[in-house]
Amino acid sequence: MSITEHELKIKLEDVEDPDLGQDIVTLGLVNDVTIDDETARISLALNAPYAPSEMEVGNRVREVCDEVGLEADLRAHVGEEHGFDDQVLPQVRNVIAVASGKGGVGKTTVAANLAAGLEKRGAMVGILDADIHGPNVPKILPIEGEPGVMPNEDIVPPRSDGVRVISMGFMTEEDDDPAILRGPMVNKFMMKFLEGVEWGRLDYLIVDLPPGTGDATLNLLQSMPVTGAVVVTTPQEMALEDTRKGVQMFNKHDTPVLGVVENMSSFVCPSCDDEHGLFGTEGADEIVDDYDVPLLGRVPIHPDFGADGSKGPIVKDDDSPVQEHIEDLVGKTADKIGAANRQTVSEHTSDEPADALPTETED
């Protein structure tokens, strides 16, 4: 069966984006199609590696090619023509801020497990522990070695099972030494972590923000290209009030809120399996309804998750009953990242004349 590149592109209109509800051609997600012998080389504007939805799109494209007797050679490319040109972190595809309105809700535990979960799926991941006064990421992600220093004085992040980690905790002599820093010094450290770290190529950089809406958080939002934010809360009314402030802060800075995580959502009694809402029930639903943001997941209270971090990331503990909740959270977050990126591509493409579609095919 012989088919032209134009005919193949028309057939790709049958592939619907599972999140945006339109076909990938109309959305402008097909950069280029070429056919060489019996191989279709297709460049897609996808930018969230290992996100379930984008993997689904890739599988559907392969099915379309198979139906017409072609082998699919798929490539992903999103460049400056779609608004993805950045000079601050040029080798980082996605920067994900993890925030909370107040401390003690499990923000760092969620951030560390999100990083470990994405790395477990095969992505290249880094985590920036930007919580200057409470740098606890290294307690959850055991570090292999110490930070290195390049000849130009850039910091080389140590790794935790493949996740590259930078934390203020590396800068203190003892684990319990306080970081007594005023605003200007905090900002100095933050800019060093952003501009003076050799992250290398990353699919995702998770940024564990300080709790609240202070200067450090605002400066970070203004200094780096944030793909979206994950907001962590508990069902308690006081936590929810502060969470609302955080969501509004991101909205004012045009940062997409990928969704809300309700941590400590319930307690399951290990003796009788009864479920108890110790801090209230379904509190995050109010935020979801009021601000039209997704609920990424509810994580129950469990000694494995957030007790002291000594067991490492729960997402890699096959024996933990919490793992399923975190795996689901990681997948949904990756999907929201992909959807936000594809929406950006679609908006930029709709502003271009029909003959100006990009033809770049490099990965």
Burial 127-143 (b: 16+ CB within 10 A, else e): bbbbbbebbbbbbbbeb
122 assigned binding-site residue: no
Q: Is 117 annotated as a binding residue?
A: no
- Distance (Å, whole) CA 81 – CA 79: 5
Q: How far apart are CA 26 and CA 96, in angstroms?
A: 27
Among 132, 137, 157, 128, residue whose Cα is nearest residue 145: 157
3-state secondary structure the chain: CCCCHHHHHHHHHHCECCCCCCECCCCCCEEEEEEECCEEEEEECCCCCCCHHHHHHHHHHHHHHHHCCCEEEEEECCCHHHCCCCCCCCCEEEEEEEEECCCCCCHHHHHHHHHHHHHHCCCCEEEEECCCCCCCHHHHCCCECCCEECCCCCEECCEECCEEEEEHHHHCCCCCCCCCCCHHHHHHHHHHHHHCECCCCEEEEEEECCCCCCHHHHHHHHHCCCCEEEEEECCCHHHHHHHHHHHHHHHHCCCCEEEEEEEEEEEECCCCCCEECECECCCHHHHHHHHCCCEEEEEEEECCECCCCCCCCHHHCCCCCCHHHHHHHHHHHHHHHHHHHHHHHHHHHHCCCHHHCCCCCCC
Any known ligand binding at 11? no
169 annotated to a ligand binding site = no
Question: Does 259 count as an annotated binding residue?
Answer: no
Give the position of tokens 């820093």: 181
Q: Is 107 annotated as a binding residue?
A: yes
Distance CA 283, CA 234 (A): 7
Q: Is 102 annotated as a binding residue?
A: yes
Ligand-binding site membership of 103 (annotated): yes
Binding-site members for ATP are 101-108
Q: Annotated binding site: which residue ranges?
A: 101-108
